[in-house]
Structure 1
Amino acid sequence: MTNDTEIAVLTAPPTLFTGGTIWTGRGDTDAVLIDGGVVAALGDRARQWGGAHHVDLDGGFLMPSFADGHAHPLYGGLEAVGPPVRRCGSVDEIVRAVQRYAADHPDEDWIVGASYDSSLAPEGLFDARWLDAAVPDRPVVLRAWDYHTVWCNSVALQRAGITAETPEPVLGEIPRRADGSPLGTLREWGATDLVMNAMPPRDEAVRVGALGTAADYYLARGVTWVQDAWVEPADVATYVAAARQGALRMRFNLALYADPRHFDAQVTRFAEQRALVEAAGSPLLTAQTVKFFADGVVENETGALLAPYCTGLHDHAGQRNWEGESLAEAARRVDELGLQIHIHAIGDAAVRQALDAIEYVAAQNGPRDRRPVIAHCQLVDRDDLDRFAALGVIPNMQPLWAQLDALMTVLTIPRLGADRADSQYPIRTLDASGAPLAFGSDWPVSSGAPLDGVAVAASRTTSDGDPPGGWTPHEILPVERALTAYTAAVAHQAFAENTWGIIEPGFSADMVWLDRDPRLTPPLELPSTSVVGTYLRGTLASPA
């Protein structure tokens, strides 16, 4: 099947870009010619081409388009459908937003939204009764920013059958009041699934529309490829429907979710799901990856640590989702299918377990070009730092998180302690070790704008410049290296390093036009850089 983008590429005349700085990803040039959706020539050879349409960069900066190596675009698009709570700065503000939304949508049986700031309540614990005051007669379910936590009202808890008698679920936690009744906050899949499974499915047209919203968001920020890092069977169907409707408009790779509670049944269907995607026939959609969660997150004390948390609330070291050797064996079975391994690992114990699993896979299945990914790598034990390069493991890191924002100072540092907190996000250390560092955003958990992440990678400060000189400044990454981590390095992660990720003859003309050179821009000013246009295979996909 040939989609509209491909037709436009086939019929578009050659296009010559000049009048600015063109960073190919390997060096600078002053001209690039695009023909048939691919880069045809650079520099003098490009200018000598006759009959090309000319684009004047007006002193701007043309570079390979960004790619997001770890995100959740369907969830991000769906945030626009529910109550607007992301920017709320207090519990009362969230409650008012939910109340207004409920009043404006009287026919919606369930009020579902995302994503609230967990630091707005002590210990990240939110009470169902606060939402009851806004909506007492319909279920309300809100996801937190981390997407590992849910806040419900009392009706939602009742619909899900969650009571004082409900036992603690496997791989989850139900915080309770003194009398044993559920508070209203649910942590991790074992608990959140109780309410998610009680919710009716969203209309498929809404879900396909959410992918369009996600594409709008990404293309406006210069992103043309994204790794959806958590895809369940219903999500595969949504992507396939969008592909058949020509509604994707950018490149997506799907990571099929591996649940330790159901893995034996899931693994038999992974090949079938990949075949469904391939049958859709879209050059914009692939499904070559499987996603594992080794642990949770530090903010709710489910990130798996080698030493216990410091808060004194619990004498524990977090939650390992895969017991014993089960992660290693599951990864081996996924690898046998020829699928890429992508493991969420936040705590140092989870990172070690993930590295051990990948080492086991290589020993059991023999050598091949695997490109396994460990996402986040918030804490990495010193003894494990060199194992990434040795095993060929891609640390896909979220540079925006490496700052002393409220999430860090209110929820994370008190749980880790100051010394351990200062070892978080060893971006420069891993890069210097020879590990194939790549970047992602985890949008909508945090901003999906790559330049927001590059700004923090290059400064280790908040948007206000705190602290002066940067937090853990030895981990600051030069801007150009950070740009590479968001372009060519993600192309390598995607097995596409010979297709896109640089501007060289023969490569897909996936490019972003910025109004200034980010390499010459102070890091704190990078988020204000304008995206003039984003090109997918040489076609303007999104002007800013």
Structure 2
Amino acid sequence: MTSTVFVGGLLWSPADQAEPQPAELLVVGGRIAAVGEHLTAPPGTERIDLQDGTLLPAFGDGHAHPVQAGLEGRFAPVRGTSLAAVLDGVRTWAAAHPDAPWIYGAGFDLALTPDGIFDAHWLDAVVGDRPVVLRGTDYHTLWCNTEALLRSGITVDTPDPPDGDIVRRADGRPVGTLREWGATDPVFAAMPRPEPAVAVAAIGEATTICAAAGLTWVQDAWVEEVDLAAYLAAAASGALVVAVNLAFRADPMGWQDQVAVFAARRDRVMAAGHELLTARTVKFFVDGVIESGTASMLEPYTDCPHSRGMPNWVPTELRKAVAAFSAAGFQVHLHAIGDAAVRDALDAIEASGDVISGGDLRPVIAHLQVIDPDDLARLPALGVISCFQPLWAQPDPLQEVLTIPRIGPRRAALQYPIGSVLADGGLISFGSDWPVTAVSPLAGLVTAVTRQTPEGEPAGGWYPRERIGLRESFTAYTAGVARQGFRDDAGTLAVGAVADLVWLAVDPSRASLAEVASASVLGTWRAGCRIH
């Protein structure tokens, strides 16, 4: 049985301690065996000198997409700061890969045009003989060239889907911008999938990056059948570095058949017996995103008074689906951006309250960009875990160009109410939504404290009443995510807890917030085994 003792630094369990304290910590057999001064360790114990750094419970990420993150770097680089840079990335990659049947890239900035609409002809001008498909930073929007639209069967005669938006020209022809699943699914169906070995390698690289950021557990918040196969192969081969829980996406048009399918997938994961892989969650996209006008709002959009957005689910169907998956023992994880979507999610959880609470199923609502103040008290009352992406709680070009003009200043001031949820007694966890934004717990938790850009803008913070304390922020990324993941023996440095640990180079209680955000992660341990 292996053992490790950590000495020469500080220990901090944010959920249990106000600030870091000098102490030693002993790990035996993957669990914390003792905490105190001058510990006696078994013979042969590895000794780690913390060099005046701080040892904490390892971070978890409550909402991320490791497969997509790992694949993104294998395709056209489109995270440019200008339209010309994006097009040049497509042109260069296509020239370097003349045999690629499709050109794909992900992460282009929707704020590069004033209306968030991107024309197929712009892509045609750089690659016209092969289909080109680019995914926006929101991962809800596609920009396609003409060939990709044709290969996907999207033409002037294609009816508008109820759960998607095909942006059209005045004559009805598709512009090239597609929003939400009803519009984008035909493209994904036509595109070739990455080879299984490529997906497995992407998972390995992505989870290695997670470990380097101090993470030992991640919620993959959108998994399809092909992703499940890749995860199983990654776990079997040893490529999977951190623990991952899989969330299967519920389809509003066919969820009834998915209850049995998802239960069979869960059984498949359990039968494989990989300690790093679980599949206990079902993901619901209740709505879209504000910047594309597809988030579901209680009141009309300021810039489009005839629209309240695009709910992906009929509320009655959402309630039935949440009830069915909860009865099957799944945790529900609901993407809800707009205030109407948050209310629909709460209504669905409330309708299944007895089943959810009785089974300790810990429902999650992710993002919660805008919440009607009247709904804040419902979150703790229903036991909802609010999974925020703290890096979003700052001003950026997307806010200035698209979001605030779409919803106006009154609703803009309600965005990401992390402080209000905590003040009302709500449970929170943090996640990155990587690759939408960076997988950087330290930068994220500091942003929740300051609500400022890395450059310190704006002075006093962006909607500063929603700022939270540093300890609360660390807790959300440790114990908060551990609770979300049913890991009641993680997120703490208590004796008996699993030894998921992260070693930081600084004392967070004495370092500046900028120093915390950029602090080096000197080591990460999962169940006592060093993974970074």
TM-score, length-scaled by structure 2: 0.97
1:455 to 446, 457, 460: 446
Paired letter, 2:324: R
How far apart, CA to CA, are the structure 2 residues paired with 1:310 and 1:56?
57
Paired letter, 2:391: L
Residue 260 of structure 2 corresponds to which residue in structure 1? 268
| Aligned-partner SS, 1:404 | coil
Structure 1 residue 507 displacement after superposition:
1.6
How far apart, CA to CA, are the structure 1 residues paired with 2:236 and 2:41?
40
How far apart, CA to CA, are the structure 1 residues paired with 2:438 and 2:154?
33
Structure 1 residue 364 displacement after superposition:
6.6
Structure 1 residue 298 displacement after superposition:
0.4
Residue 15 of structure 1 corresponds to which residue in structure 2? 4
How far apart, CA to CA, are the structure 2 residues paired with 1:519 and 1:159?
56
Residue 539 of structure 1 corresponds to which residue in structure 2? 529
Paired letter, 2:191: M
Map 1:403-414 to 2 at 5 A.
Answer: 403-414=394-405
Please say if 1:157 is aligned against 2:149. yes
Residue 491 of structure 1 corresponds to which residue in structure 2? 482
Please say if 1:290 is aligned against 2:279. no
Residue 125 of structure 1 corresponds to which residue in structure 2? 117
2:189 to 180, 184, 197: 197
Structure 1 residue 272 displacement after superposition:
0.3
Structure 1 residue 179 displacement after superposition:
2.4
How far apart, CA to CA, are the structure 1 residues paired with 2:486 and 2:355?
23
1:371 to 349, 352, 362: 362
Map 1:226-237 to 2 at 5 A.
Answer: 226-237=218-229
Paired letter, 1:148: H
Paired letter, 1:532: L
Residue 507 of structure 2 corresponds to which residue in structure 1? 517
CA contact (8 A) 2:259 2:328 kept: no
CA contact (8 A) 1:465 1:524 kept: no
Report Cα offsets for 1:403-450 as digits up to 9, x if no partner.
111111111111110111011111011011111111111111111111
Q: Gaps spanning 5+ residues in structure 2: where? A: none
Report Cα offsets for 1:137-191 as digits up to 9, x if no partner.
1111111010000111111111111111211112001111222211111100001
How far apart, CA to CA, are the structure 1 residues paired with 2:357 and 2:477?
30
Residue 61 of structure 1 corresponds to which residue in structure 2? 54
1:352 to 319, 330, 343: 343
How far apart, CA to CA, are the structure 1 residues paired with 2:270 and 2:358?
26
| Aligned-partner SS, 2:8 | strand
Structure 1 residue 134 displacement after superposition:
1.6
Residue 147 of structure 1 corresponds to which residue in structure 2? 139
Report Cα offsets for 1:61-93 as digits up to 9, x if no partner.
11111000011111111101111222x101110
CA contact (8 A) 2:329 2:359 kept: no
How has the CA–CA distance of structure 1 residues 69 and 30 changed in structure 2, closer, same or farther, with 3 Å as cutoff? Answer: same
Please say if 1:31 is aligned against 2:24. yes
Residue 306 of structure 2 corresponds to which residue in structure 1? 315
Structure 1 residue 45 displacement after superposition:
6.1
Structure 1 residue 524 displacement after superposition:
3.3
How has the CA–CA distance of structure 1 residues 40 and 356 changed in structure 2, closer, same or farther, with 3 Å as cutoff? Answer: same
CA contact (8 A) 2:315 2:344 kept: no
Residue 341 of structure 1 corresponds to which residue in structure 2? 332
2:37 to 44, 49, 57: 44
Structure 1 residue 518 displacement after superposition:
2.4
Report Cα offsets for 1:450-469 as digits up to 9, x if no partner.
11111210001111111101
Map 1:369-408 to 2 at 5 A.
Answer: 369-408=360-399
How far apart, CA to CA, are the structure 2 residues paired with 1:358 and 1:45?
49
How far apart, CA to CA, are the structure 1 residues paired with 2:136 and 2:508?
32
| Aligned-partner SS, 1:141 | strand
Give the RMSD, CA atoms, in angstroms.
1.4
Moved more, 220-229 or 48-57: 48-57
Structure 1 residue 375 displacement after superposition:
0.6
TM-score, length-scaled by structure 1: 0.95
Please say if 1:257 is aligned against 2:249. yes
How far apart, CA to CA, are the structure 2 residues paired with 1:537 and 1:218?
16
How far apart, CA to CA, are the structure 2 residues paired with 1:367 and 1:33?
36
Please say if 1:507 is aligned against 2:506. no
How far apart, CA to CA, are the structure 2 residues paired with 1:343 and 1:365?
14
Residue 76 of structure 1 corresponds to which residue in structure 2? 69
| Aligned-partner SS, 1:277 | helix
Residue 7 of structure 1 corresponds to which residue in structure 2? none
Moved more, 48-57 or 194-203: 48-57
Structure 1 residue 44 displacement after superposition:
2.5
Structure 1 residue 201 displacement after superposition:
1.8
How has the CA–CA distance of structure 1 residues 416 and 521 changed in structure 2, closer, same or farther, with 3 Å as cutoff? Answer: farther
How far apart, CA to CA, are the structure 2 residues paired with 1:435 and 1:533?
31
1:178 to 167, 170, 173: 170
Residue 295 of structure 2 corresponds to which residue in structure 1? 303
Report Cα offsets for 1:262-316 as digits up to 9, x if no partner.
111212211100011112211000000111111110010110010000013x511
Map 1:424-503 to 2 at 5 A.
Answer: 424-498=415-489, 500-503=490-493
Q: Gaps spanning 5+ residues in structure 1: where? A: 1-9
| Aligned-partner SS, 1:416 | helix
Report Cα offsets for 1:456-492 as digits up to 9, x if no partner.
1000111111110111111111111100100011111
| Aligned-partner SS, 1:265 | helix
Report Cα offsets for 1:82-115 as digits up to 9, x if no partner.
11222x1011101111111111111110111211
Paired letter, 1:31: E
Structure 1 outlier segments of 4+, above 4 Å: 47-51, 363-366
CA contact (8 A) 2:9 2:22 kept: no
Structure 1 residue 520 displacement after superposition:
2.7
Identity %: 50
How far apart, CA to CA, are the structure 1 residues paired with 2:120 and 2:335?
29
Residue 331 of structure 1 corresponds to which residue in structure 2? 322
Paired letter, 1:426: P
Moved more, 297-306 or 104-113: 104-113
| Aligned-partner SS, 1:338 | coil
How far apart, CA to CA, are the structure 2 residues paired with 1:511 and 1:40?
13
CA contact (8 A) 2:327 2:355 kept: no
Structure 1 residue 514 displacement after superposition:
0.9
Structure 1 residue 47 displacement after superposition:
4.5
Structure 1 residue 52 displacement after superposition:
2.4
